């Protein structure tokens, strides 16, 4: 298996990191060897049941509960939410040797914390059934590296402040690797965050009770501190934008021709769209981006509820323009939405450019259900990096479960990109 991620050059003086990574890789290799004997006898293992990875992001949360009245909300709660387990992430097949995995771990080391756990995670899925003990010892090994890698990433950011989508210029399909996906994902996430922030600010200006609004989005998840409402709205925006992301047509009938696109076609669209400013494809006289325009309308109407728009702007003018067409609103609010949607669409094109037919070459998206145990391998907590909290967070981490997924995770080829989760205390059983 080839190394997927080139390590940045300025790391040659970090010899002890390589040493540590080598030790980590050795630990994983030992773990895997010990398990392979049992695994050989077993059939293809299930995905770790306890993690309840889900391919379908829309199913897990009904965000529109946000606008239901309390009685309806109670009835809905009693009826139970949609089952998110349906599209559970399948294990990654493949006969990767532990040695190759160790190399791959070293290779992904400097791609940032998000990708470092890849080699272990994919092998853990491929080689043996769910084993809590093995996952826990891996979690511990990975956790010790995480803090140092975070410092490393901060250094990297200071050294290369401008490293954004430019690194995706002159990219060819044959050279596509998971680092490119990670770059595009970060770009998309930045936009999702900023739109969620605008939404939050508008709610504040409109005098909404943010705590009540947050509770409507994720009922029954107590927030650890008041500022955490931002994670709730980030997750609201992300879930709406990523709904049906795993389908070539986003589950929209007007995009059904995309069901027949091959990976080259998706990649070409990525390249073409990346070079254009948002205004170019909002030009209704250009039929080339007609599908994208419809996608934009559908996502806007799904994300920005009528009552929300009335509260923010006092009238439904923008919604009317979006519904009626053919033009688009000229507000900065809509422009910000359109740019976010463009980045999600770009990421979607890139996602399907990885789909080589063989399962291990493709890509998948997952989220974690409320109440799941936290795993360092699959998840990154949004509270990571609150420096003052690190010791405290470590102390209570064992006592925490997933409150909700803020941003989905991805598997791209053999690289795992963690989903970001908001941790909370488990509900006490009566």
Tokens linked to 90: 């399948």
Residue 56 is given by DSSP the state -
pLDDT at residue 8, rounded to an integer: 40
pLDDT value of residue 117? 44
Task: Give the tens place of pLDDT for each residue, 393-412.
Answer: 555 556 788 999 999 998 88
Exposure string of 375-411, with b = 16+ CB inside 10 Å and e = fewer, is bbbbbbbbbbbeeeeeeebeeeeeebbbbbbbbbbbb
Lowest mean per-residue pLDDT among 101-105, 196-200, 275-279: 101-105
pLDDT score at 407:
94
pLDDT, greater one: 306 or 157 = 306
Q: Write down the pLDDT at residue 229.
A: 92
At residue 179, what are phi and psi to the nearest 5 degrees?
-65, -35
Tokens 């009528």 correspond to 306
Instruction: Please give the pLDDT value at position 58.
Output: 34
Q: What is the pLDDT of residues 315-331, one digit of tens each?
A: 778 888 888 878 888 88
The span from the CA of 217 to the CA of 251, in Å, is 23
Distance CA 379, CA 376 (A): 5
Q: Kindly list the domain boundaries of the chain, sorted by start residue.
A: 1-53+88-163+365-430, 165-355
Please report the pLDDT score of residue 139 as a whole number. Answer: 59
Closest C-alpha among 264, 262, 258 to residue 174: 264
Q: What confidence score (pLDDT) does residue 347 get?
A: 94
Q: Rounded distance, CA 304 to CA 50, Å?
A: 34
3 state DSSP class of 244: coil
| Euclidean distance between CA atoms 339 and 347, whole angstroms | 12
Mean pLDDT of the chain: 68
Where residue 306 falls among pLDDT bands split at 50, 70, 90? confident
Average pLDDT over residues 299-309: 86
Give the per-residue pLDDT at 250.
Answer: 92
> Three-state SS for 257?
helix
Helix (H) or strand (E) holding 107: helix 98-108
156-206 pLDDT tens trace: 555 554 444 555 666 677 777 788 888 889 999 999 999 999 999 988 888
pLDDT band of 371, cuts 50, 70, 90: confident
User: 419-424 and 401-407 as β-strands: parallel, antiparallel, unpaired?
Assistant: antiparallel
Give the residue from 63, 58, 380 showing the smallest Cα distance to 196. 63
Q: How confident is the model at residue 142 (pLDDT cuts 50, 70, 90)?
A: low
User: What's the pLDDT score for residue 197?
Assistant: 94
Region 382-400: what's the mean pLDDT? 60
**What percent of the chain has pLDDT above 70?**
53
Whether residue 56 is predicted with pLDDT greater than 80 in this model: the reply is: no
Give the separation between CA 163 and CA 423, rounded to whole angstroms. 30
Laid out side by side, the sheet with 363-366 consists of: 363-366, 409-412, 415-417
Q: What is the secondary structure of 64-86 as a DSSP string? A: GGGGS-HHHHHHHHHH----GGG
Q: What pTM was estimated for this model as a whole?
A: 0.65
Integer Cα distance of 64 and 309 in angstroms: 15
**91-95, 203-207, 264-268, 359-363, range with the lowest pLDDT:** 91-95
Instruction: Please name every residue paired with 98 in a beta bridge, in sequence order, or none if there are none.
Output: none
What tokens were used for 8?
Answer: 């940045």
Q: Is 86 left (phi over 0), alpha (psi -120 to 50) or beta?
A: alpha
42's tokens? 């077993």
Identify whether the C-beta of residue 310 lies closer than 8 Å to the C-beta of residue 316: yes
ω into residue 326 within 30 of 0, thus cis?
A: yes
pLDDT confidence tier of residue 92, bands split at 50, 70 and 90: very low
Q: Please compute Rg for the chain using Cα positions.
A: 22
Over 50: is that where the pLDDT of 311 sits? yes
Residue 129 has pLDDT above 70, yes or no: no
The torsion angles phi and psi of 412, rounded to 5 degrees, stand at: -120, 110
Residue 237 has pLDDT above 70, yes or no: yes
The mean per-residue pLDDT over the stretch 262-287 comes to: 79
Highest mean pLDDT out of 156-160, 274-278, 402-406, 424-428: 402-406
pLDDT at 328 (0 to 100): 87
pLDDT digits (tens, 9 = 90+) for 338-349: 999 999 999 999
Those residues whose C-beta lies under 8 Å from the C-beta of residue 429, and which sit 6 or more positions away, are: none
Give the separation between CA 309 and CA 295, rounded to whole angstroms.
Answer: 19
H helices present in 326-401, as ranges: 332-353, 390-397
């Amino acid at each position: 298996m080839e190394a997927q991620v080139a390590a940045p050059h300025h790391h040659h003086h970090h010899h002890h990191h390589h040493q540590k990574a080598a030790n980590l890789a050795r630990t994983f290799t030992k773990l895997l060897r010990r398990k392979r004997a049992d695994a050989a006898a077993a059939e293809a293992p299930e995905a770790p049941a306890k993690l309840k990875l889900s391919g379908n992001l829309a199913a897990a949360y009904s965000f529109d509960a946000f606008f239901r009245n309390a009685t309806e909300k109670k009835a809905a709660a009693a009826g139970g939410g949609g089952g998110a387990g349906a599209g559970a992430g399948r294990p990654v097949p493949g006969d990767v040797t532990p040695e190759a995995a160790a190399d791959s771990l070293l290779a992904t080391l400097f791609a940032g914390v998000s990708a470092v756990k890849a080699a272990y995670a994919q092998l853990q899925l491929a080689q043996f059934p769910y084993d809590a003990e093995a996952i826990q010892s891996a979690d511990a090994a990975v956790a010790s590296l995480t803090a140092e890698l975070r410092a490393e990433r901060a250094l990297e950011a200071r050294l290369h402040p401008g490293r954004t989508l430019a690194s995706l210029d002159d990219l060819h399909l044959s050279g596509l690797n998971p680092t490119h996906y990670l770059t595009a994902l970060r770009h998309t996430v930045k936009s999702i965050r900023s739109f969620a922030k605008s939404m939050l600010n508008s709610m504040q200006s409109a005098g909404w009770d943010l705590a009540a609004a947050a509770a409507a989005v994720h009922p029954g998840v107590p927030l650890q501190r008041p500022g955490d409402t931002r994670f709730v709205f980030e997750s609201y925006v992300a879930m709406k934008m990523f709904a049906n992301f795993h389908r070539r047509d986003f589950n929209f009938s007007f995009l059904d021709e995309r069901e027949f696109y091959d990976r080259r076609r998706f990649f070409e669209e990525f390249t073409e769209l990346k070079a254009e400013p948002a205004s170019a494809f909002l030009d209704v006289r250009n039929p080339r981006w007609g599908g994208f325009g419809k996608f934009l309308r559908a996502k806007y109407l799904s994300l920005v509820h009528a009552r929300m728009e009335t509260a923010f702007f006092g009238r439904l003018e923008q919604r009317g323009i979006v519904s009626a067409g053919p033009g688009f609103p000229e507000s900065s609010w809509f422009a910000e939405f359109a740019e976010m949607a463009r980045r999600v669409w770009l990421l979607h094109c890139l996602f399907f450019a990885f789909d080589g037919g063989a399962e291990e070459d493709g890509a998948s998206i997952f989220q974690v259900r409320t109440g799941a145990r936290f795993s360092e391998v699959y998840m990154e907590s949004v509270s990571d990096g609150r420096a003052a909290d690190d010791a405290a967070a470590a102390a209570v981490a064992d006592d925490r479960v997933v409150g909700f997924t803020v941003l989905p995770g991805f598997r791209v080829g053999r690289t795992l990109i963690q989903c970001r989760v908001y941790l909370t205390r488990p509900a006490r059983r009566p």
